[in-house]
Amino acid sequence: MLDDCLASDRTYTMNVVLLEDNTYEWSRPFVQAAVEQAIEEDRQTNIDNELNFNLTANYYGFDTTMYNRQGCGSSTCEGVAILKLLHSKNEVGCVMLGPSCTYATFQLVDDEIGLNLSIPIISAGSFGLSCDYKPKLTRILPPARKIADLLLHFSKELLDFKEPWTQVYVYKKSTIPPEDCFWYINALEAASATFSSSFNREMLRGEEELTKALEAKDRFSNIFILCGKPHDVVSIKSMVEVIPEDVVFILLDIYNPEYYVNTTSSAGMQDVLVITLPQRNYDYGSNSTYNNTINDYVAGYHDGVLLFGKVLRERMLSKQRNKGSYDVPLSDNPFGNTSFDGMGGHYVLDEYGDRDANFSIIYTSTITGKYETLSVFDTSQNKTSVTDTIPALPWKGSRLPGAIPENSEGLNMQDVIVIVLSLSVVVVTAVALIFYRQNRKERHMQKRWSHIDLHLIAPLDEKEVCLKPVILKELKQTDGDFTEDQKIELNTVRHPCVIAQSIYNP
């Protein structure tokens, strides 16, 4: 695709597609200044490399204020309409920068719909699972599948500060959440997705189900995953009288650099793990160019320009080194397996053009009361690296609680062990008592016949049962030597299997 752009005499044009309603973080007034600055940065880099080309940008927005559901929820057809307009004006350009809305992007990149997309798309957004593995789409912000894989692998890991978790709650707001949270939670909810199909999770839809789970003594899990801001956690806690001590909130606050700027923990964040992007290269909340509107989406559009310029520059320099000959044609996604630095930090794009990142997992220290980085999760390897080897965690033993609650009404593992051991003792005691009683009876019977030698008593041959009566001959002892009970027993012996033999004097 980019080879066609390089082979033409046209200018290297980017069509920037975004919302025009001024309510989203990636609306045109917030983005355009950042894109223009990135174009100037790229021009200076070209000069340094003795290349004579410049990037240009056209801006196309769509306004959803006329719809009942405003914003990304009404953007399904807007991207396609803009692309048709560009084709009709013969202004398709080399690349499309945006849109950020999943609904709009999906209609552009899905092959089954039948749209023949001739240019690549670089999106600061398009988080949804429906946009996964699209060869002409590059997502410069981490998509939902990366977040789901993070939570899946982190939960199953055995680390110094946690045991593997087998089950979790996932909280889904009843109100319409921000675009990123909508798709991140959707990836955890979708029954066919990797997270729910390979992990035991229970959805909590709305505040009523959430509060009921928090108050239940036999709750399904101690781990509550949600997406939002610190004030969302505070709001949840205000609905419950007491939060159990072994509960952990995992807050997906991916695009909030505040944790690195103001490190003093907010109220209510003591039992919360925050998952967010690593520190950025822009000054959060700064003035001037962006009028206090700099954020990860604006940085994403800015850095999308740098990515496009970088790949073009590398292609041109490669052709110069090979005296103008063409290299092996680029794949459908020319931005895959690429890394570069931008306003949003260091970018690593996988083979599908999706961003990998070293996500920070942040907690509130019980000693300093500040946000501290507990560990870092690398989505390119799906592995956690521990950064705080002696964390001051608020939970018992300064470790994260297990997933399964140890409640007072149910049976925990210690209770089960005690019960099993107690039953074992009872069974062993009962068996021993039975053997003791049997042996005591036998000893008692032996004692009653103790004055007769044992070799004088023998079993009767079965053949003699019906032939011989039991005969007692000339007892050595006189009758006076027997008790009354023994005399009665001797006179009533009729058992066919025993005969007293040779007990007379020879």
What pLDDT digit, counting tens, does each position of 342-384 carry?
999 999 999 999 999 999 999 999 999 999 999 999 999 999 9
For residue 346 the two structure tokens come to 């260091």
The pLDDT of residue 498 is: 45
Distance of CA 421 to the CA centre of its chain: 36
The pLDDT of residue 415 is: 57
Q: What is the Cα–Cα distance from 502 to 471, expressed in whole angstroms?
A: 10
Residue 502 to residues 444, 477, 483, Cα–Cα distance (Å): 25, 13, 22
For residue 82 the two structure tokens come to 């803009």
pLDDT per position as a tens digit, 299-332: 999 999 999 999 999 988 888 887 544 444 445 6
The pLDDT of residue 89 is: 85
Residue 397 to residues 84, 129, 162, 340, 393, Cα–Cα distance (Å): 61, 38, 11, 41, 8
Q: What is the Cα–Cα distance from 349 to 339, expressed in whole angstroms?
A: 6
Question: Radius of gyration over alpha carbons of the chain, in Å?
Answer: 40
Would you say 64 and 100 are in contact if contact means Cβ atoms under 8 Å apart? no
**Contacts of residue 449, Cβ cutoff 8 Å, sequence gap at least 6:** 457
The domains of the chain are located at: 2-142+295-343, 146-253+256-280+357-409, 411-448, 450-506
The pLDDT of residue 491 is: 64
Confidence (pTM): 0.78
Helix ranges (DSSP H) in 127-221: 144-156, 179-189, 194-198, 207-215
For residue 282 the two structure tokens come to 């822009």
Residue in this structure with the two tokens 């806690």, named with its chain if needed: 237
Q: Which residues of the chain have pLDDT under 50?
A: 286-291, 324-330, 408-410, 462-468, 473, 494-506
Nearest to 272 by CA among 209, 230, 244, 221: 230
Whats the size of the chain, residue-wise?
Answer: 506
Q: Do the domains 2-142+295-343 and 146-253+256-280+357-409 sit in the same CATH topology, yes or no?
A: yes
Q: What is the 3-state secondary structure (H, E, C) of 79-105?
A: HHHHHHHHHHCCCCCCEEECCCCHHHH
Q: Counting Cβ atoms within 10 Å, is residue 6 exposed (0-12), middle (13-18) or buried (19+)? A: middle
pLDDT per position as a tens digit, 95-142: 999 899 999 999 998 877 656 777 899 999 999 999 999 989 999 999
CATH code of domain 2-142+295-343:
3.40.50.2300
Output the CA torsion 130→132→133→134 (10° steps): 60
Helix ranges (DSSP H) in 272-356: 296-321
CATH code of domain 146-253+256-280+357-409:
3.40.50.2300
Specify the DSSP class assigned to residue 11: -
Nearest to 98 by CA among 267, 265, 304, 250: 304
